[in-house]
Amino acid sequence: MKKRPLILITNDDGITAPGIRTLISVMNEIGDVVVVAPEGPQSGMGHAVTLNETLYCNEIKLDSGSQKEFKSSGTPVDCVKLAVSEILDRRPDICVSGINHGSNSSINVIYSGTMSAAVEAGIEGIPAIGFSLLDYSWNANFEPLKPYIKQIVLNVLKNGLPEGVVLNANFPNSESFKGIKICRQARANWVEEFDKRVNPQGKTYYWLTGEFVNMDKGEDTDEWALANNYISLVPVQFDLTAHHFIQKLNNWNL
């Protein structure tokens, strides 16, 4: 009898978020599931790790599924590190992160706790995928995503991923999709402002606000795919070396 794959699941919206509960239900159809996720929201944490606080991780049971679950006081990256080093008795066959409530397309991949967890798994040599839906609502409808998530995960389990590469999958906010489009990350960023206020005690405080601006007109980008009702799938590498600039840099008088 063929052994079922071991699947590690995490997220950045917290272990009770509807997105991760949906992902758990889909992954239970594929393999043996272990969930290690933050006890509360950790959005925008990027690749942060806990260094100066005590880190807790406790086994819990939230539903009748067959998965084992652990909630952690740490970040999404902490969760992957804890899973690999302390919880799992063997290396998982795949790590899936999400389903995030909100977009992680283009530049958002840098800030995303969801994608940083996937990247951390990739650093550990584990094939990994981050899933996100362009709907920030807690009550977002994740049902239409299920067959596509299963399709992507089964393909990664079958074909593997190159060393140093993880996948970033984003779903438009829709009841149905035109299909999956393999994309590159769009050249886009946030134009940010701070809303400066003063509290009743006279102390100044700030709220971060901003507008997302897509400067990329290409039709091969994740932003174009999502705007045209496709699921975007971007291979992401965590080697940040600008290889194309090395030769020019060697010509400097250093």
Tens digits of residue pLDDT in 87-138: 999 999 999 998 999 999 988 898 899 999 999 999 999 999 999 999 999 9
With beta carbons less than 8 A apart as the criterion, state whether 173 and 232 touch. no
* Domain 6-184+218-239, CATH: 3.40.1210.10
3-state secondary structure of 202: coil
Domain map (residue ranges) of the chain: 6-184+218-239
Q: How far apart are CA 203 and CA 207, in angstroms?
A: 14
- Express as a percent the part of the chain with pLDDT over 90: 75
pLDDT at position 1: 59
Q: 3-class DSSP state for residue 217?
A: coil
Predicted TM-score (pTM) of the model is: 0.92
pLDDT value of residue 243: 93
Looking at the predicted structure, is the pLDDT value of residue 67 above 80?
yes
Greater confidence (170 vs 64) lies with 170
pLDDT band at 192 (very low <50, low <70, confident <90, very high): confident
DSSP state of 51: -
Whole-angstrom CA distances from 141 to 10, 44, 121, 146, 238 are: 19, 22, 27, 11, 31
Stretch 129-155: mean pLDDT, rounded?
Answer: 96
Q: What is the DSSP letter of 39?
A: S
pLDDT value at residue 161: 97
